A and B are shown apart, each in its own frame.
Chain A
Amino acid sequence: MSDSLYLAWRYIGFNRWKTLTLMACITLITVLPLTLQVLLTETERQMLARAASTPLVVGAGGSALDLMMSTLYFGRDVPELINMSDSEEIWETGLADAIPLYVRFRARDYPIVGTTLDYFDFRGLGFAAGRPLAVLGECVLGAEAARRLELEPGDSLVSSPDNLFDLAGVYPLKMSVAGVLKRTYSADDLAVFVDLKTAWIIEGLGHGHGDVARDGDTSVVLERSEDNVVANASLVQYTEITKANIDSFHFHGEPENYPISAVIALPHDAKSSAILRGRFLESLVTAQIVVPFEVIGALMQNIFRIKNVLDAVIVVVGLATVLAIALVFALSLRLRQREIQTIFKLGCQRATIAHLLAAEIILILFASGVLCVGILLIVDHYSADLVRLVFVN
């Protein structure tokens, strides 16, 4: 067999384009479904892991999926809001710890997540640089957000205005970067975390003193008096919380009425979870309590249904490719008729011809297999990043 392999090796080397084409076909048709499987498995793992680690979410009534997308993945769409009192009520039941989230604003297209320090403990978020939030006006960046924005502790980041044409609306807030989180390969990597109160300040529920005009830049000044500077539209207006003015910041109204987008509830045990869910179901309020694993699990099932369709398509394409490859080998055999006749005349063994063809097929399959394994190893190694790039980003 080694002689057959040698001859086959020479043959496929001589006919390299035919060989490469065959290898490409075989590799593609093998790698495609397997890659899809790897990526979907990783997607399922990531999405379910994040959902599974989040026991309960409380939010406004409506689409549970929208609520999940906002709460777990900080999606662009802002769900209907609830009040801070909903979070405090959960604390007061003594059945669960409550982590409020307010995901509404963005900073250079990255979601600003207003929350409490408990969120970081809950998600097990560690710090690659800097420190946790300490005072108003600070932010902590996810690993990928920090990398793309090229920011590190000590730098600044300005929140994006809610509406460019609403002059009476939210002014951008200049936030100080306190820390950068370690990479988690989750939506947290792309988030800008702030204290809930900072998020409310961005919204305008909290006010304080801040510089409005840049010193020495007269081009942005519309009107200047002794104690007031009015800027024109060319100025990037922001508020900034500094050591000097932090004491001047205050909030109007009752904090319990302030808006949040959801509450992550961490029940103390299964019984507490059941009781808490029961209370929400019985309650007349429009808020809903959702088990993320059930919602995302149902979403995954839908995805798998689509995967079945894709699998069927791949099977059909695969069959066609196999037939085409078989035809190529058959034609190749025909082209080698003279060679076969020659070696027959020379006195080769009966099995030699079969060995030669088998060796050719084995070598091509082996090379394709090695290529497949290589590609799959690379895909598997980077599957977390690829999934996040495609699905989470």
Chain B
Amino acid sequence: MKQSIKLVVLIALSTGLQSVRGADDDLLEVYVVNYTLQYFASRITGGHARVEFPAPRDSDPVFWKPSIATINDYQKADLILLNGAGYAKWLSGATLPRAKLVNTSSAFSDRYIKIGGEATHSHGPSGSHSHTGTAFTTWLDFQQAILQARAIAEELVSKRAGLKDTFEHQLDLLERELLAIDSELMEIGEKTPGIPLVASHPVYQYLARRYGLNLRSVQWEPREAPTDEQWAELVGILDAHPARWMIWESEPTKETQERLAMLGIESLVFNPGANVPESGDWLDLMRENVDNLKQIL
């Protein structure tokens, strides 16, 4: 609730209360595949669209499987914003109208990071999944995030040419904020050249590439105790890659942290922002991520 109010206030403030909301009939219906895109689209539309992200809060949007009814809702939308790079595995088995699909990362699709040779595993109630193929957290390279935001804005303008000025203004504001974060992360990267880091999950490829982080990944879950094999794997990695920090998507269990501490590893959280956070909005989350990452300095 707090986060929603914050979002509304932010939108109202940034537009200077100058946007006039049209009748409900004129509202664009936009469906997205992750929270990042929902945030971007909501910021840019400035209230002139209904931006829906139906995945449950506790689900991983990459591996979430919508129901048939939800797929039908996607089909009826005016725009369907995709992340690209193989994000949202359910798309390969679903039928969506091509005319409404927007691959927000197509501008840099030639620079997708291919991944492979990672171990498959099974975990938790959502079943097993694999991180082979293409790295998909494209927005963690904030230059790429800007390109994704621009792609969204371009499509919105094509649908509502009359609101071009509004959309471009909103995009401009968002871009500045993304640039600011990009700068801070660049600074962190420059100040920590080659420092070995470990990621609990292989979702930081673009972050590592853009900001020059020396990162190796395992495939652990924050709320699950790693197995002996997984600990052994980590130890093996540390032999050649003596990391002092492990980056997590969310706060790991105390037990895991303690055992990591025994290996001389501290934990920090860098939430990729794929789903809606407990509190705050996406930008709050990223700023928090930056602050957390500064610990490695």
Contact = CB atoms under 8 A, between A and B. Distances in A.
Tell me if chains A and B make direct contact, with any CB pair below 8 A: yes
A382 interface: no
A134 B97 CA distance: 10
Interface string A2-29: 0000000000000000000000000000
A158 B89 CA distance: 26
Q: Is the interface of B mostly helix, strand, loop or mixed?
A: helix
B97 A116 contact: yes
A89 interface: no
A249 B99 contact: no
Contacts of A138: 95
Interface of B: 65, 68, 71-72, 75, 89, 92-99
A117 B98 contact: yes
A135 B95 CA distance: 6
A195 B97 contact: no
Interface in A134-171: 134-136, 138
Given A131-B72, A135-B68, A135-B71, A97 B99 contact: yes
Contacts of A118: 97-99
Interface string A106-125: 00000000001110010000
A250 B89 CA distance: 11
Contacts of A185: none
A91 interface: yes
A136 B75 contact: no
B11 to A, nearest CB: 31
A135 B99 contact: no
A117 B94 contact: no
Contacts of A135: 68, 71, 93-95
Contacts of A99: 98
A-B residue pairs, 10 tightest by C-beta: A117-B97, A133-B95, A134-B71, A195-B95, A136-B93, A134-B68, A118-B99, A116-B98, A246-B93, A118-B97
B99 A134 contact: no
24 contacts: A97-B98, A99-B98, A116-B97, A117-B96, A117-B97, A118-B98, A121-B97, A133-B95, A134-B68, A134-B71, A134-B72, A134-B75, A134-B94, A135-B68, A135-B71, A135-B93, A135-B95, A136-B94, A136-B95, A195-B95, A247-B89, A247-B93, A249-B92, A251-B92
A21 to B, nearest CB: 61
Nearest to A206: B92
A118 B95 CA distance: 10
Contacts of A241: 93
B95 A134 contact: yes
A132 interface: yes
Contacts of B98: 91, 97-99, 116-118
A29 B96 CA distance: 55
A133 B94 CA distance: 8
Contacts of A117: 75, 95-98
A135 B66 CA distance: 10
Nearest to B63: A247
Contacts of B95: 116-117, 132-136, 138, 195, 197
Nearest to B98: A116
Interface in A193-226: 195, 197
Given A117-B75, A134-B68, A249 B93 contact: yes
Contacts of A98: 98
| Interface-central residue, A133, A247, A249, A250, by most chain B CB under 10 Å | A247
Given A97-B99, A118-B99, A132 B72 contact: yes
A132 B93 contact: no
Nearest to A87: B98
A338 B65 CA distance: 95
A296 B89 CA distance: 42
Contacts of B68: 131, 134-135
A116 B99 CA distance: 9
B78 to A, nearest CB: 12
Nearest to A121: B97
A133 B68 CA distance: 9
B99 A121 contact: yes
A241 B94 CA distance: 12
A135 B90 CA distance: 9
A85 B72 CA distance: 27
A116 B75 CA distance: 11
Given A195-B95, A246-B93, 20 more contacts: A116-B97, A117-B95, A117-B97, A118-B97, A121-B97, A131-B68, A132-B75, A133-B95, A134-B75, A134-B95, A135-B71, A136-B95, A138-B95, A197-B92, A197-B93, A197-B95, A241-B93, A247-B89, A249-B93, A250-B92
Contacts of B93: 135-136, 197, 241, 246-247, 249
Contacts of A116: 95, 97-98
Contacts of A91: 98
A136 B93 CA distance: 5
Contacts of B75: 117, 132, 134
Contacts of B71: 134-135
Nearest to A249: B93
B248 to A, nearest CB: 26
| Interface-central residue, B68, B93, B96, B97, by most chain A CB under 10 Å | B93
Contacts of B94: 134-136
A365 B125 CA distance: 83
Nearest to A178: B68
Nearest to B67: A134
A121 B94 CA distance: 17
